[in-house]
C-alpha cells in the first residue's frame, strides 16, 4: 500500500520548516556587510542584475543610514525589489559578479542587503512614486504576475491607465502560486502587489479569459505577461498512476493551503527533473515530512538547470540527487505508483527506486492566448529587443518570451516594454 | 631575544610600554592588574588639591569608521575624583610591591608656587620614580586656569617647571598639549625650566559628533555637550609629527621624550621610538581592549627587533629622524609610476575613477565584464600614490621607480624655482 499521509509533522515543526529560509539582517549586520562594499566603478554586479539596480549606490545608502534612499534606489529600477531580494538566484546574478568573489572574502550579500533596504519602506506611508499627469491612454495588461505588474506600474507612473486581466482569482503570478513557500513566507506576495498598485491608475480584474482581438479594439496597446501556463508532459508508461503529479500543481496547492498539515505527502518521493522546480518540490516534500526524497535527473550536475547553490541547498535539506537516470516507466500496484524505473545513461543498467509519490518537474510551456495569431519562436511568443510582438500594438515579456525564467527578468521585461509602449503612445495621436 | 629595557630621564623600566595617566591608572586595583599583565610602567591618574573634583555622566564619545569602533575617542573627564591621601597611600603601596616598574605621578594644581611645592613633597614621600606635570588637559581644568591653559603659554610652562625642579629631587616630565600652533615653543620652555623629559601628546580639542535628533554634541550630559579631548588611533599621525618636531629641534636636545597618542601595537610603538621617543604611553588601546594587549606589544617588538638585528631600544632609537627632512630637501628628480599587477587585480575600478575624477587621468579602462582591464598611462602618471591607496587588494598596485638617469636635485637647486641657488 502506498504510504501517502497528511500531517506527518506537527504544526510547530511545519511552521519552522516553512518559515523564512534566510534570516534578515539586523542593523548591525547590515552595516557591517554594507561596509564591505568597495563602491566599484561601473560595478560588475550592476551589469549582472537584469534590472540594472545601482547596487553600490544602494549599499552605500545603507552604510550611511539612508535606508529610505536605499529602498528607492532599488525600487526605481525594480518595483519587485522586495521579492527579488528573496527569490533571485544571486549566485548566478549580482553576487556572482561581485569583485569580492575574487579577493577571497566572498561576495557581498546583495540579496540580503536589498531586502534590508526594501523591508524598511513603511507601507503605511504614501507610495514613493508619483504618477505623471493622466495621458488619457489606456493599456490592457494580461497576467498579474511580475512581468504584467512591473509593466503596469511603469505605465501608470507615466500617466497611462492600466487594466490588468488575470485568469486566476488572485494577483502575483508565480510569486503567489509557484515560488517555494519558505522564500516568500506569509502574505508577502499579496502585500507587495498592494504596494505596487497603490500608485493608482491600475485596475486588476480577476477570473478573466480575455480575447486578444477584443483587447486590441478596446485599448491603445496591450502587454502580455502570460507566464507559462502549460506543463511539459513526461510521456511515460504508468504516468497516469495515482500518486504521480505535476510539481507546479502541487506547489500551487501548497502555497494556497491554509494548513500545511492538511497536505498529503508520500513517505518516499521521487522527483523527475533537474531545474529549480525539481529542487523546490523536493525540498518542500522533505519539509512536509517525506522521509526519503530523490531527484532523478537524466544528465550530470553541470547540465542541471538548478544553480549550484540550489543543488547544495537541496542536499543540505536531506534530498538525494541522482544523475544520469533516464526514466523508463512507472510501476504500480492497485492503481497507485510503487516504483520509478530508470536506465543509466552511463551504462544502460536498469534501476528501480521504490516510491509512494512521483513529481514531474520537466519544465513548463507557454500557452498563448486562445485565438491569437501571434508569431512564436521555439514555442514562446516572438518579440523584438523592446518586447514588441508581431502585432504592432502588442508587447510581451516574462516567462512567455525567450530568456531566463526568473522573476527579476520578468520585471525587467515588463519595465522595458512599458518604456516602448509609452513612446508608441506618445507617437500615436488622438 | 632583544633587550626591551628602557631608561628615560634616569627612570628604569623592564620595557618601554607604560600606561598613560588616565582611567587605567586611576587606582591601585587597575595598576596592580596592569603590572601583572606586563606593563613596564604607569603614570598615575593626575592628582590635584583636595577636595577632589566631581565628574559628569556621560563622559566619553567615540568615532567609528566603516564599522571599526573607537578609531577616535574623546572625553570630558577631569583629573582624579578621589581624595589625595587615598591616592598617595596606594601609590606608595604599588611602588613598594613593584619596585622594578616605573611609577610616575601626574600632577595638576593651581599656577602658584606653594601648592606645587606642597604636593611634590607629598609625592616624594610615596617613593614614586618621578612626576609628570599635566599642562595638557584641554577641557574643564583649562577653564579653571590649569592644564592646557598653562601648556599654551610657554612662559608659564617654564615658570612652573622651574618651581618643580627646585622643589624636588625627582625627575620632572612635562606633558604637552597639542593644541598649540608650534610645539617647539612649550617644549623649549620646558627645557629652559629644567625639565628632564616631555610627554606628548595630551588630547586634541574636539567635538566627536553631533546627535542630530537631540541637536547636542556628544557625549551628552543632560542634553548638553562640551568641548572634549580627542585621542585613539586617529590622532597617531598628529602625535608622531609633534614628537618628531621636538626630536629634530637642536634646542630641545638632551631632553627625553615619552611618546603618546594612538599607540595600540608594537609597530606604533616602534614608529614613535624611531622618531625619537625614549618610551611610549598608552591609554585608549588599553581602554578598548584591556591590559592584555601588552602581550603582543612585547612579543611583537621583540620579534621585529630580532628580525632586524636590533639588540636594544637604543639601536633604533631616532633611526628615522635622519630620513625626516624639510620638503625643500626632497629629491625633485625622483620618479615613480604606478604598476598594476594584472593577476592580482579584481577589476573594481577604484584606481581608475579616483585618478580620473580627482587626479591625473592616468589609468585607462578597456573592455567589459571579465575582459575589463585597467592599465597605467605612463606618460600621464605623476606617481602621486592615490591609486595604490584606494586599491583594496594588497600589493596589487606597486609604485615603481623609473630610471630617468637624473641626479639628486632639490627645490633649492631647481632652475624652475625663481629663488633657487644655482646648482653647482
Ligand atoms: C516552482 C517554481 C519556482 C520558481 N522559483 C524561482 C525563484 O526562486 N527565483 C526566481 O527568480 N524565479 C523563480 N521561478 C520563476 C519565476 O517565478 C518566473 O520567472 C516569474 O514568475 C515569471 O513572471 P511572469 O509574470 O512572466 O509569469 P507568472 O508569474 O507565471 O505570471 C503570469 C500570470 O498570468 C496569468 N495568465 C496566464 N495566462 C493568462 C490569460 N490567458 N489570461 C489572463 N491571465 C493569464 C497567470 O494566471 C499568472 O498570474 C520559479 C518558477 C517556478 C515554476
Ligand atoms: C522531452 C523531454 C524529456 C525530458 N525528460 C527528462 C527526464 O527524463 N529527466 C530529467 O531529469 N529531465 C527531463 N527533462 C527536462 C529537462 O532536462 C530539465 O529538467 C529542464 O527543465 C530543462 O533543462 P535541460 O537543458 O537540462 O534539458 C525533459 C525535457 C524534455 C524536453
Ligand atoms: S534584483 Fe536580484 S539580481 Fe538584481 S540586485 Fe536584486 S537580488 Fe541581485
Ligand atoms: S561588485 Fe561587489 S564590491 Fe563592487 S560594488 Fe558590487 S557589491 Fe560592491
Ligand atoms: S583598484 Fe586595484 S584591484 Fe581595483 S581595478 Fe585598480 S588595480 Fe585593480
Closest CA–CA distance from residue B223 to any residue of chain A (Å): 23
Which of ligand 1's atoms lies nearest the C-alpha of A367? 38
Question: Residue A209 is placed in which grid cell?
Answer: 479569459
What global pTM score does this model have? 0.87
Sequence-separated (6 or more) residues with CB below 8 Å from residue B194:
B161, B162, B165, B172
Closest CA–CA distance from residue B336 to any residue of chain A (Å): 25
Which residues in A lie closer than 8 A to residue B66 (C-beta atoms)? 35, 63
Residue A199, ligand 3, Cβ within 6 A: no
Distance CA B350, CA B356 (A): 10
Read off the pLDDT of residues B332-358 as tens digits, 9 standing for 90 and up: 999 999 999 999 999 999 999 999 999
Read off the pLDDT of residues A39-52 as tens digits, 9 standing for 90 and up: 999 999 999 999 99
Q: Is B348 an annotated catalytic residue? A: no
Quick one: which ligand is closest to A36's CA?
4
Of B60-74, B90-104, B181-195, where does mean pLDDT reach its minimum? B60-74
Residue A197, ligand 3, Cβ within 6 A: no
Residue A88, ligand 1, Cβ within 6 A: yes
Phi, psi angles (nearest 5°) of residue B65: -120, 120
Which of ligand 2's atoms lies nearest the C-alpha of A277? 21
ipTM for the predicted complex: 0.81
Q: How many CA atoms lie within 13 A of B388 on its CB side?
A: 16
Q: Of A32, A43, A99, which is closest to B67 when you measure between CB atoms?
A: A32
Q: What is the crossing angle of helices A188-197 and A146-157, to 10°? A: 20
Q: Measured in angstroms, how far is the CA atom of residue A180 from the centroid of ligand 1?
A: 12
Of A270-284, A352-366, B130-144, B269-283, where does mean pLDDT reach its minimum? B130-144
Q: Of A32, A40, A103, which is closest to B349 when you measure between CB atoms?
A: A40
Q: Whose alpha carbon is nearest atom 1 of ligand 3?
A: A84
Check B346 against A41: CB less than 8 A apart: no
3-state SS, residue A341: strand
User: What distances in angstroms separate CA B353 from CA A43, B289, B366, B392, one per listed residue?
Assistant: 11, 37, 13, 13
Task: List residues of chain A with CB under 8 Å from any CB of chain B.
Answer: 31-32, 35, 38-44, 47, 63, 99-100, 102-103
**pLDDT for the residue B339:** 97
**pLDDT for the residue A273:** 96
B113-121 average pLDDT score: 97
* Domains of chain A in sequence order: 20-119 (1.10.1060.10), 138-229+367-427 (3.50.50.60), 231-364 (3.50.50.60)
Q: Measured in angstroms, how far is the CA atom of residue A400 from the centroid of ligand 1?
A: 9
Q: Measured in angstroms, how far is the CA atom of residue A62 from the centroid of ligand 5?
A: 24
**pLDDT for the residue B370:** 83
Q: Whose alpha carbon is nearest atom 6 of ligand 5?
A: B351
Q: Is the pLDDT of residue B360 over 60?
A: yes
Distance CA B132, CA B126 (A): 15
Q: Of B67, B348, B369, which is closest to A40 when you measure between CB atoms?
A: B348
Question: Residue B243 is placed in which grid cell?
Answer: 614628537
Amino acid at each position: 500500500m502506498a504510504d501517502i499521509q497528511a500531517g506527518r509533522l506537527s504544526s510547530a515543526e511545519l511552521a519552522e520548516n516553512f518559515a523564512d529560509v534566510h534570516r534578515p539582517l539586523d542593523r548591525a549586520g547590515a552595516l557591517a556587510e554594507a561596509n564591505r562594499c568597495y563602491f566599484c566603478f561601473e560595478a560588475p554586479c550592476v551589469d549582472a542584475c537584469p534590472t540594472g539596480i545601482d547596487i553600490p549606490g544602494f549599499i552605500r545608502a545603507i552604510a550611511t543610514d539612508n535606508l529610505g534612499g536605499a529602498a528607492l534606489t532599488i525600487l526605481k529600477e525594480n518595483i519587485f525589489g522586495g521579492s527579488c531580494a528573496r527569490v533571485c538566484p544571486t549566485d548566478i546574478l549580482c553576487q556572482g559578479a561581485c569583485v569580492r568573489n575574487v579577493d577571497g572574502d566572498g561576495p557581498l550579500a546583495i540579496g540580503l542587503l536589498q531586502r534590508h533596504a526594501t523591508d524598511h519602506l513603511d507601507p503605511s506611508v504614501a507610495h514613493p512614486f508619483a504618477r505623471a499627469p493622466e495621458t488619457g491612454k489606456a493599456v490592457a495588461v494580461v497576467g498579474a504576475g511580475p512581468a504584467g505588474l512591473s509593466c503596469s506600474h511603469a505605465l501608470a507612473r507615466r500617466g497611462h491607465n492600466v487594466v490588468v486581466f488575470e485568469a486566476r482569482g488572485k494577483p502575483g503570478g508565480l510569486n503567489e502560486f509557484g515560488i517555494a513557500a519558505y522564500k516568500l513566507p506569509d502574505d508577502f506576495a499579496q502585500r507587495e502587489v498592494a504596494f505596487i498598485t497603490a500608485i493608482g491608475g491600475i485596475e486588476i480584474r480577476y477570473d478573466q479569459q480575455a480575447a486578444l482581438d477584443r483587447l486590441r479594439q478596446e485599448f491603445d496597446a496591450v502587454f502580455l505577461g502570460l507566464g507559462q501556463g502549460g506543463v511539459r508532459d513526461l510521456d511515460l508508461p504508468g504516468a497516469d498512476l495515482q500518486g504521480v503529479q505535476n510539481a507546479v500543481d502541487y506547489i500551487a496547492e501548497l502555497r494556497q493551503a491554509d494548513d500545511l498539515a492538511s497536505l498529503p505527502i508520500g513517505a518516499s518521493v521521487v522527483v523527475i527533473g533537474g531545474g529549480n522546480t525539481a529542487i523546490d518540490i523536493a525540498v518542500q516534500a522533505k519539509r512536509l515530512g517525506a522521509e526519503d526524497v530523490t531527484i532523478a535527473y537524466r544528465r550530470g550536475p553541470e547540465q542541471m538547470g538548478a544553480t549550484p547553490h540550489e543543488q547544495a541547498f537541496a542536499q543540505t535539506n536531506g534530498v538525494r540527487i541522482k544523475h544520469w537516470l533516464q526514466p523508463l516507466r512507472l510501476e504500480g500496484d492497485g492503481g497507485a505508483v510503487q516504483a520509478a524505473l530508470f536506465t543509466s545513461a552511463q551504462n544502460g543498467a536498469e534501476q528501480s527506486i521504490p516510491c509512494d509519490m512521483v513529481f514531474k518537474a520537466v519544465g513548463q510551456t507557454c500557452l498563448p492566448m486562445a485565438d491569437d495569431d501571434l508569431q512564436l519562436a521555439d514555442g514562446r511568443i516572438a518579440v523584438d529587443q523592446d518586447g514588441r510582438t508581431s502585432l504592432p500594438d502588442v508587447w510581451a515579456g516574462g516567462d512567455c518570451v525567450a530568456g531566463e525564467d526568473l522573476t527579476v527578468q520578468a520585471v525587467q521585461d515588463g519595465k522595458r516594454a512599458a518604456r516602448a509602449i509609452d513612446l508608441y503612445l506618445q507617437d500615436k495621436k488622438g | 631575544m632583544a633587550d626591551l629595557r628602557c631608561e628615560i630621564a634616569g627612570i628604569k623600566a623592564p620595557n618601554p610600554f607604560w600606561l598613560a595617566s588616565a582611567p587605567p591608572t586611576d587606582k591601585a586595583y587597575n595598576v596592580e592588574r596592569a603590572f601583572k599583565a606586563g606593563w613596564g610602567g604607569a603614570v598615575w591618574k593626575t592628582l590635584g588639591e583636595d577636595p577632589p573634583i566631581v565628574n559628569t555622566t556621560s563622559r566619553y564619545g567615540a568615532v567609528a569608521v566603516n564599522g571599526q569602533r573607537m578609531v577616535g575617542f574623546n572625553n570630558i573627564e577631569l583629573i582624579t575624583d578621589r581624595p589625595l591621601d587615598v591616592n598617595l597611600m596606594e601609590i606608595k603601596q604599588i611602588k613598594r610591591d613593584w619596585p622594578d616598574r616605573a611609577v610616575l605621578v601626574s600632577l595638576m594644581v593651581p599656577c602658584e608656587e606653594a601648592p606645587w611645592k606642597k604636593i611634590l613633597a607629598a609625592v616624594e614621600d610615596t617613593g614614586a620614580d618621578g612626576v609628570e606635570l599635566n599642562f595638557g588637559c584641554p577641557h574643564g581644568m583649562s577653564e579653571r586656569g590649569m592644564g592646557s591653559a598653562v601648556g599654551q603659554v610657554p612662559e608659564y610652562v617654564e615658570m612652573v617647571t622651574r618651581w618643580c625642579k627646585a622643589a624636588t629631587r625627582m625627575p620632572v616630565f612635562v606633558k604637552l598639549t597639542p593644541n598649540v600652533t608650534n610645539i617647539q615653543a612649550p617644549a623649549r620652555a620646558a627645557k629652559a625650566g629644567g625639565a628632564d623629559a616631555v610627554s606628548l601628546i595630551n588630547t586634541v580639542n574636539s567635538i566627536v559628533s553631533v546627535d542630530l535628533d537631540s541637536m547636542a554634541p556628544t557625549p551628552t550630559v543632560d542634553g548638553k555637550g562640551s568641548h572634549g579631548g580627542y585621542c585613539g588611533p586617529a590622532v597617531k599621525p598628529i602625535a608622531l609629527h609633534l614628537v618628531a618636531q621636538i626630536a629634530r629641534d637642536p634646542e630641545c636636545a638632551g631632553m627625553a621624550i615619552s611618546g603618546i597618542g594612538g599607540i595600540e601595537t608594537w609597530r606604533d610603538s616602534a614608529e614613535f621610538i624611531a622618531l625619537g621617543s625614549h618610551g611610549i604611553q598608552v591609554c585608549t588601546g588599553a581602554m578598548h581592549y584591556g591590559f592584555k594587549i601588552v602581550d603582543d606589544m612585547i612579543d611583537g617588538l621583540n620579534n621585529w627587533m630580532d628580525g632586524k638585528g636590533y639588540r636594544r631600544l637604543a639601536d633604533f632609537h631616532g633611526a628615522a629622524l635622519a630620513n625626516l627632512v624639510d620638503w625643500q630637501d626632497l629629491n625633485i628628480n625622483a620618479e615613480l609610476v604606478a604598476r598594476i599587477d594584472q593577476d592580482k587585480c579584481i577589476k573594481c575600478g577604484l584606481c581608475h575613477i579616483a585618478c580620473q575624477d580627482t587626479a591625473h587621468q592616468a589609468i585607462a579602462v578597456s573592455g567589459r565584464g571579465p575582459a575589463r582591464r585597467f592599465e597605467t598611462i605612463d606618460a600621464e602618471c605623476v606617481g602621486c600614490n592615490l591609486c595604490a591607496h584606494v586599491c583594496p587588494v594588497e600589493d596589487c598596485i606597486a609604485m615603481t621607480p623609473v630610471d630617468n638617469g637624473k641626479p639628486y636635485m632639490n627645490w633649492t637647486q631647481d632652475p624652475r624655482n625663481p629663488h633657487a641657488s644655482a646648482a653647482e
